[in-house]
Amino acid sequence: LPGLPRSKEKPPPGEFELIARLCAGLKPGRRTILGPGDDCAVLAPVKRPLLVTIDSMVEGVHFRRPWFRPEALGRKALTVNLSDIAACGGWPLASVVNLAIPATLEPRFIERLYAGLRRAAVAAELDVVGGNITRASALAITVALIGEARRSILRRDTARPGDQIFVTGTVGDAAAGLKILEGRRRARGAARRFLIERFLNPTSRLRAGQRLAAMRPAPAAIDLSDGLWQDLGHLLDASHAGAEIDADAIPLSAAYRAAIGDDPELALGGGEDYELLFCARGRWSPAELSQRLGVAVHRIGRVMRASDGIRLTGGTRRGRAPRTAGWDQLRSRDSK
Ligand SMILES: [Mg+2]
């Protein structure tokens, strides 16, 4: 057919050996009936709803190779997907991995990347059940992940006016780390290491998401991948709601303050923190939630009606909006 490649790209020499070596380290658990090596992996049936997600990390788009040890790259490729399962309050079950590899990349790099991914999978009690390798001009790691909802499912479309808005952990660290890696911001010592680590090696909040899924009613939630302001916008869009956010309440780490200062602009606009933002009904205090979720939780505002728009209050720079795509989108909606 016109437009279609005439034949499947032939695997380069050593490819099958590489795949065999990568798969040799995988030890699927009891829920996997048939792991890597056949045309499909086979999973035991589950009784509960399944969660399915997929995400890619592409060289030149999401990362530059010199920033990462290969193990860290593999781990992060899995973590960004685990974060989506966390945002829905689920348990990860199984994943498949596609590696797009430039011809110049050493097989050893791929083996180390896979070792990092494998270790992260074991830590998350997740089976890597299969994969694919293809040649490409840029390195790309794509992970598809299946999870299970054992409690409620956290959704974006269930926030209601009056809900309190919380975030886990601190925000803006990964964006600050990225700026440092890019040479656009300077920092020293422990702050520099912390911020860079938060970009290279983020944590998914699986446990926190699972505990949120046990709350009644189940909070609306989203993970912070695109940046707080933008992800908040996604959640509010889905819920047809507005919000009031207190700029002074945005949780900033000591390292962020050391490198960036007290201005939360980067924390509002910068992505890849992989913290959870959620909207809880009732009189939850941040202290109660921190204890329940096993991670620091801060209240940053509350859900309003859609007609109230999305307002940023407080701060020494009152009324000053973050200069991000996310903000532009919200401001234009605000002024409608
Ligand atoms: Mg997400």
Over residues 56-61, mean pLDDT: 95
Q: Is the pLDDT assigned to residue 259 strictly greater than 80?
A: yes
Q: How far is the CA of 82 from the centre of ligand 1 (A)?
A: 9
What number of residues does the chain have?
Answer: 336
- Give the per-residue pLDDT at 30: 81
Q: How far is the CA of 231 from the centre of ligand 1 (A)?
A: 8
CA-nearest of 316, 320, 303, 201 to 261 is: 316
The pTM assigned to this predicted structure is: 0.90
Q: How far is the CA of 33 from the centre of ligand 1 (A)?
A: 29
Q: How far apart are CA 297 and CA 287, in angstroms?
A: 7
Q: How far is the CA of 13 from the centre of ligand 1 (A)?
A: 37
Q: How far is the CA of 10 from the centre of ligand 1 (A)?
A: 35
Q: How far is the CA of 145 from the centre of ligand 1 (A)?
A: 13
Over residues 272-301, mean pLDDT: 97
- Give the per-residue pLDDT at 335: 34
Q: How far is the CA of 316 from the centre of ligand 1 (A)?
A: 31
Assess contact for 295 and 208: CB atoms under 8 A: yes
Over residues 113-126, mean pLDDT: 94
CA-nearest of 132, 110, 128 to 119 is: 128
Q: How far is the CA of 24 from the centre of ligand 1 (A)?
A: 31
Q: How far is the CA of 86 from the centre of ligand 1 (A)?
A: 9
Least confident of 5-14, 44-53, 206-215: 5-14
- Give the per-residue pLDDT at 24: 76
Q: Across the chain, what does the average pLDDT equal? A: 90
Q: How far apart are CA 227 and CA 171, in angstroms?
A: 9
- Give the per-residue pLDDT at 252: 98
DSSP secondary structure letter of residue 38: B
Q: Is the pLDDT assigned to residue 121 strictly greater than 80?
A: yes
Cis bond upstream, residue 217 (ω within 30): yes
- Give the per-residue pLDDT at 276: 98
CB atoms within 10 A of CB 334: 15
Q: How far is the CA of 42 from the centre of ligand 1 (A)?
A: 26
Q: How far is the CA of 2 from the centre of ligand 1 (A)?
A: 37
Burial class (CB in 10 A: 0-12, 13-18, 19+), 134: middle
Q: Is the pLDDT assigned to residue 197 strictly greater than 60?
A: yes
Q: How far is the CA of 228 from the centre of ligand 1 (A)?
A: 12
Least confident of 7-11, 36-40, 126-130, 271-275: 7-11
CB atoms within 10 A of CB 40: 9
Q: How far is the CA of 104 from the centre of ligand 1 (A)?
A: 32
Q: Kindly indicate the confidence band of residue 319, based on its pLDDT and cuts at 50, 70 and 90.
A: very low
- Residues 6 or more apart whose CB falls under 8 angstroms from that of 217 comprise 152, 158, 281
Q: Is the pLDDT assigned to residue 326 strictly greater than 80?
A: no
- Alpha-helical (H) ranges within 102-141 are 107-123
Assess contact for 292 and 299: CB atoms under 8 A: no
Q: How far apart are CA 325 and CA 327, in angstroms?
A: 5
Q: How far is the CA of 190 from the centre of ligand 1 (A)?
A: 29
Over residues 266-275, mean pLDDT: 96
Q: How far is the CA of 221 from the centre of ligand 1 (A)?
A: 9
Query: Can you spell out the DSSP letters for 259-321?
Result: HT-S-THHHHH------EEEEE-S---HHHHHHHHTS-EEEEEEEEEGGG-EEEE-STTTTPP
Q: Kindly indicate the confidence band of residue 329, based on its pLDDT and cuts at 50, 70 and 90.
A: very low
Least confident of 12-26, 64-78, 187-201, 250-264: 12-26
Residue type, 39: D
Burial class (CB in 10 A: 0-12, 13-18, 19+), 140: buried
List phi, psi (to 5°) of 238.
-65, -35
